[in-house]
Amino acid sequence: MAEESSQVKTPETPPTSSGSAAPTGPLRGNKVVLIIVIVVVVLAVLSFVGWYFAKRAISKVTGVTGNAYSYTSGTDTISAGESTVWPKDIPSTIPKFDKGTIKGSAYIDKTWTITIEGVTAADLEAYKQTLKSGGWTISGEADVSGIKTFIAENSAGQQVSFSLTEGDKAAIIGIVTEKTGGGTATPD
């Protein structure tokens, strides 16, 4: 009688293309996490660099420094931000106000708004006189509850409005650089 052979057969594992089994377990997971962290860090750095250069470009164009923002759609532009300088895009026909500390400015469709701290009633009066001596007409004035305001216009249709809150020594100057149509609002 023929003897039966008692051999145990084990299943064969197919080799990988490199000839060794693929890594499994925690080692593989750590590599994935490391790659994700590197990608996130690279994206964050690129984001920061892009924002830095965008802020510098906006500052050069608008004169706005610090946290500056600008949006343009067609012919409309909106820009705003912290600033410590008189905006350079304001036409030279509009006298620069050089008292106090400029805290911010915004530009929307031919109109500038500038906020200034450390301004006195004497500063407001001096600026009003500077405008008058430059041929501007004061078209309206008010002094109500510690808030002094005036509006001035020139022959080109440009307007300057100046409001001062005396107690806070804070002023807002509005400048319309081109006549946009309509009439001038005057207090009753």
Q: What is the pLDDT of residues 71-117, one digit of tens each?
A: 666 665 556 666 678 888 889 999 999 999 888 887 877 888 888 99
Q: Is residue 148 part of a domain?
A: yes
Number of domains in the chain: 1
Percent of the chain with pLDDT over 70: 52
Q: Is residue 116 part of a domain?
A: yes
Q: Is residue 57 part of a domain?
A: no
Q: Is residue 44 part of a domain?
A: no
Matching residue, tokens 């990988």: 16
Average pLDDT, the chain: 74
Q: Is residue 70 part of a domain?
A: yes
Q: Is residue 43 part of a domain?
A: no
pLDDT at 122 over 90: yes
Structural domain for 118, as ranges: 63-176
Q: 32 vs 21, 26, 27, CA distance in Å?
A: 18, 10, 9
